[in-house]
Amino acid sequence: MWMEKLSNGKYAYRERYTDPYTEKIRKVSVTLTSCSNQAKNKAQKMLNEKIHHAVTKKHDMTFEQLYEKYKPIYKQNVRDSTYRHFESCYRVVTKWFDKESIMRNITSEYLQDCLDDFYYKKNYSFSYLFSLRAFLSNIFSYAKRIGVCDFNPINDVKLLEKQEEKIRKKQKDTKYLEDDELALILTEIRNRPKVPKKYRYAEILELMSLTGMRFGEAAALKNDDLDGNFLRIDESLYYNYGDLKNGDTNGTKNSSSLRTITLSNRSLEILHKWQLENQNYKILFPDEYKDMGFLFCDPHGTPIGISPVNNILRNICAKLKKEGKLDKQVTTHYFRHTHISKLAELGIPLKTIMDRVGHANPTTTLRIYTHVTKKMEEDLIEKLNEAEKER
């Protein structure tokens, strides 16, 4: 450090340093009114802080800056719906702490407190909590890769599920329908008053129970996907955030979801029926029908979204529970799992089931498969015991 007296009577304290990126010599300076030893010490401290800031400024990113930098990269590597969820997580997380927070200052302890507060005090679900942790892990992993953080603090954050939630999960019914439950719900939908698309709602759900498709996959089906009794599944309807009138679609959930399946006679009957219906719509409403090729659509060619279908299912389940006929909170996904349960009852190998329904991970398939086969074994024992009584 050296000092220079200025014409105004003040003192300029200067220091040289080497820029670690360019290896050029640069200078910093501060101006004080005194040249006392106390002033010199103060100047030295201020100069050191300036040098430190200059050397590290390329790494001192805020949470918002890092998010904006990572966002376009992430978008190119995931489906649109996944990217939308990523944006949603950012909006939630930035309610916890200031988006101007410096990344290297965010600690594991701070993140742990935030997530604990979110789960234990605000009572959000454990699954949503887990998705927020995954979002933060992605952000901090990227920060570490580009040198903004020395480590990923989320790695030391532990999520502990509430005991009551664990108990609820064990007691919760497996998410599929027995034959009589399936028939009951489909009949209720078909008989539902004041629902113009109720037959299509019932039949897209029935098709899911016959094929194991996800709702988005069934809703995205087009005429070209049907070839004889084979059905190609390679898209999913973008129904969560997009405008259905645009007919936006994504790719399937993962590479395992890209598949071609063989159709049963009833599946073909449903699809052929709606191919014919759509042709009729085009004739009846030539000026209003926008032909985007969707099999399940309204009289204007707009594909069916998931929200109204789930709304009807909620209302029907409430009615059936009140009548003592069914005590399940059925969603569209139950119909996909119903197909898995039916294949398990038929003794179809686990790998064949996974390939048909497009599961990359065996966890869900195995859970349903195990539950069904265990129930079949219990039924077998009951029948054997009854047979022994009759001897």
Given 142, 171, 200, which residue is the final one in a domain? 171
Q: Residue 174: what pLDDT? A: 67
Q: Residue 172: what pLDDT? A: 55
Same domain, 183 and 318: yes
The set of residues, in sequence order, having a beta carbon less than 8 Å from that of 236 and lying 6+ positions away, is: 79, 81, 214, 216, 217, 220, 249, 250, 251, 252, 253, 257
Residue 294 and residue 275 in contact, taking contact as beta carbons nearer than 8 Å: no
Q: Residue 104: what pLDDT? A: 85
pLDDT band at 196 (very low <50, low <70, confident <90, very high): low
Structural domain count, the chain? 3
- Asked if pLDDT for residue 41 goes beyond 90, the answer is yes
Label residue 210 left, alpha or beta by phi (over 0 means left) and psi (-120 to 50 means alpha).
alpha
Helix locations, the chain, DSSP H = 37-56, 63-75, 80-93, 108-116, 126-145, 163-171, 179-190, 198-211, 215-219, 265-284, 306-322, 333-345, 350-357, 362-389
- Region 60-79 average pLDDT: 90
- Asked if pLDDT for residue 58 goes beyond 70, the answer is no
Residue 158 included in any domain: yes
Q: Say what the alpha-carbon torsion angle 75, 80, 81, 83 is, to the nearest 10 degrees.
A: 10
Give the Å distances, CA to CA, from 101 to 57, 98, 216, 230, 352: 14, 6, 38, 54, 50
Tell me which of 76-90, 159-173, 176-190, 282-296 is least confident.
Answer: 159-173
**Does the pTM of the predicted model rise above 0.85?**
no
Q: What angle do CA 378, 381, 387 make, to 5 degrees?
A: 145
Sign of dihedral through CA atoms 179, 185, 189, 193? positive
Residue 339 and residue 252 in contact, taking contact as beta carbons nearer than 8 Å: no
More confident residue, 51 or 322: 322
Q: Residue 40: what pLDDT? A: 92
Residue pLDDT, tens place only, 303-318: 888 888 999 999 999 9
Residue 267 included in any domain: yes
- Region 104-119 average pLDDT: 90
Given 171, 201, 234, which residue is the final one in a domain? 171
- Region 259-263 average pLDDT: 93
Q: Residue 195: what pLDDT? A: 61
Residues annotated as catalytic are 214, 245, 333, 336, 359, 369
Determine the structural domain holding residue 46 and report its residue range. Answer: 2-56
Residue pLDDT, tens place only, 375-390: 766 676 776 677 667 6
- Asked if pLDDT for residue 166 goes beyond 90, the answer is no
Same domain, 76 and 205: no
Residue 222 included in any domain: yes
Average pLDDT, the chain: 86
Q: Which of 43-52, 206-215, 245-254, 371-380 has the highest mean pLDDT?
A: 206-215
Given 20, 41, 56, which residue is the final one in a domain? 56
- Asked if pLDDT for residue 67 goes beyond 80, the answer is yes
- From the list 26, 44, 41, 31, the residue with the least C-alpha distance to 4 is 31
- Region 81-110 average pLDDT: 88
- Region 175-192 average pLDDT: 91
Same domain, 205 and 353: yes
Look up residue 119 and give its DSSP letter.
Answer: I
Residue 203 included in any domain: yes
Residue 264 included in any domain: yes
Tell me which of 91-100, 222-231, 249-258 is least confident.
Answer: 249-258
- Region 324-349 average pLDDT: 90
Structure tokens at 60: 């001192």
Residue pLDDT, tens place only, 120-151: 888 888 888 899 999 999 999 999 998 888 88
Same domain, 235 and 283: yes
Q: Residue 57: what pLDDT? A: 58
Residue 384 included in any domain: no
- Region 282-291 average pLDDT: 87
Residue 154 included in any domain: yes
Residue 261 and residue 255 in contact, taking contact as beta carbons nearer than 8 Å: no
- Region 181-208 average pLDDT: 86
For residue 72, give the CATH number of its domain: 1.10.150.130
Residue 385 included in any domain: no
